[in-house]
Amino acid sequence: MMLTALKPQPADKILALMAAFREDARSDKIDLGVGVYKDAEGRTPVMRAVKAAEKRLWEIEETKSYTALTGDPAYGAALTQLILGDTVPDDRIACAATPGGTGAFRQGMELVRMAAPDARVWVSDPTWPNHLSILRHLGIPFTEYRYFDSATCDVDFDGMMADLDRVAEGDVVLLHGCCHNPTGANLTEAQWRQVADLLVRKGAVPFIDLAYQGFGDGLEADAQGTRIVARACREVLIGASCSKNFGIYRERAGLLIALAPDAASTRLAQGTLAYLNRQNFSFPPDHGARLVTMILTDDALRAAWQAEVEDIRRGLLTLREQLADELRRQSNSDRFDFIARHRGMFSRLGASPEQVEAMRRDHGIYMVGDSRINVAGLNARTVPLLARAMVAAGV
């Protein structure tokens, strides 16, 4: 028997939290759990530029026949340009469309396992839980490096550099390009340069997970860390997601980029990316990727999209400032000012599991057990409620 031999898999914590939220009968409950952007009314709308591109696509699309194993080359070119600008010459860039950023990470790690079976992957403590579960599933050994300082809620950069000093040649160092998930704490440009120097010195290969470009300090600023590393290192892997910054979560648009040292190894990498897509799912999804290409290559659509991303980014920053202000008032201290310094959709508040549970039980406020909040789940009305709950729970 086969199916009867299966073992139950652990439930996804965030999905379980969503279910608990749905079952909560309180009308004033607040969902700060799942990682999708929400506007002030709590909706996750289709972006206007995406709607416009979909309408145009419906008019001009003549076939839905297969594209290429690595997706439409125009998608790879457009998204690579958004991420890297002119940092790296074309003959060093291999890339493949993947089902979302998750697919990019999965394909990237499969490539690592093929090319360097002994490589260890270094991951920030904490990181996006799917990173760890995919590494475990693939049987790739990994080690955590210090990243989040729970006393300051900023990056523990000295700890990070000390831990990464133990990286062996050929190991992979996983970095979040911007808007670190789950903490919201990010490297400065000067720190990115130090990390890039370390990677070069160690002969390590960075994998940069870029899932929130445009949600932190802006589309260009959020790519700076990735570009610094891309300029410095001979080999770089980048997993990009269009789920958040184009709001096309369910379309599954991601891209795995491999920067190789020369044209011959770029061709080898490109062939391997096509091979890996073929083995796992054959052709990648195209609809979302096509919308992204249309938006990025059309001046008017691109300007409209950039304005929408900028609105989202400013909205997140405003909520951060409001929450930090409110907490300063209610707690009579500046110990929560880090919330305004964090960037992206998430912040780890530094609450204990008991405090997280108390906020859920007593105030109907749902956040992930490690006290990660989705800032986009707040609005001007609920900011003071969260602040009050935090102070009451003794955070």
Residue closer to ligand PMP, measured from CB, 92 or 252: 252
Looking up tokens 């790690």 gives 109
Q: Assess contact for 204 and 167: CB atoms under 8 A.
A: yes
Q: Which residues bind ligand PMP (CB under 6 A)?
A: 35, 100-102, 128, 176, 181, 209, 211, 241, 243, 249, 254
Rounded to 10 deg, the angle between the 73-84 and 224-232 helix axes is: 100
Q: Shortest gap between Cβ of 175 and ligand PMP (angstroms)?
A: 10
124: β partners: 145
Residue closer to ligand PMP, measured from CB, 211 or 257: 211
Q: Shortest gap between Cβ of 15 and ligand PMP (angstroms)?
A: 12
Q: Which positions ≥6 away from 165 have C-beta within 8 Å?
A: 198
Residues 244-257, buried b or exposed e (16+ Cβ, 10 A)?
bbbbbbebbbbbbb
Indicate if 192 belongs to the active site: no
Indicate if 128 belongs to the active site: yes
Identify the helix (H) or strand (E) that includes residue 241. strand 236-241
Residue nearest to ligand PMP (CB): 100
Q: Shortest gap between Cβ of 37 and ligand PMP (angstroms)?
A: 11
Q: Assess contact for 212 and 345: CB atoms under 8 A.
A: yes
Q: What is the DSSP string of 187-223?
A: --HHHHHHHHHHHHHHT-EEEEEES-TTSSS-TTGGG
Q: Shortest gap between Cβ of 268 and ligand PMP (angstroms)?
A: 26
> Could you tell me which of 310, 343, 321 has the C-alpha nearest to residue 216?
343
- Choose the catalytic residue: 196, 204, 211, 358: 211
The contacts found for 278-283 with CB under 8 angstroms, 24 or more apart, are: 278/69, 280/106, 280/107, 280/110, 281/99, 281/103, 282/69, 283/66, 283/67, 283/68, 283/69, 283/71
Residue closer to ligand PMP, measured from CB, 211 or 319: 211
Indicate if 211 belongs to the active site: yes
**Tokens linked to 83:** 């991420």
Residue closer to ligand PMP, measured from CB, 102 or 270: 102
Residue closer to ligand PMP, measured from CB, 76 or 101: 101
- Choose the catalytic residue: 122, 128, 192, 305: 128
Q: Shortest gap between Cβ of 100 and ligand PMP (angstroms)?
A: 3
Cα(332)–Cα(341) distance, integer angstroms: 18
- Choose the catalytic residue: 244, 260, 305, 340: 244
Residue closer to ligand PMP, measured from CB, 207 or 305: 207
Q: Shortest gap between Cβ of 202 and ligand PMP (angstroms)?
A: 23
Torsion of CA 275, 82, 287, 298, to 10 degrees: -140
| Residues identified as active-site | 128, 209, 211, 244
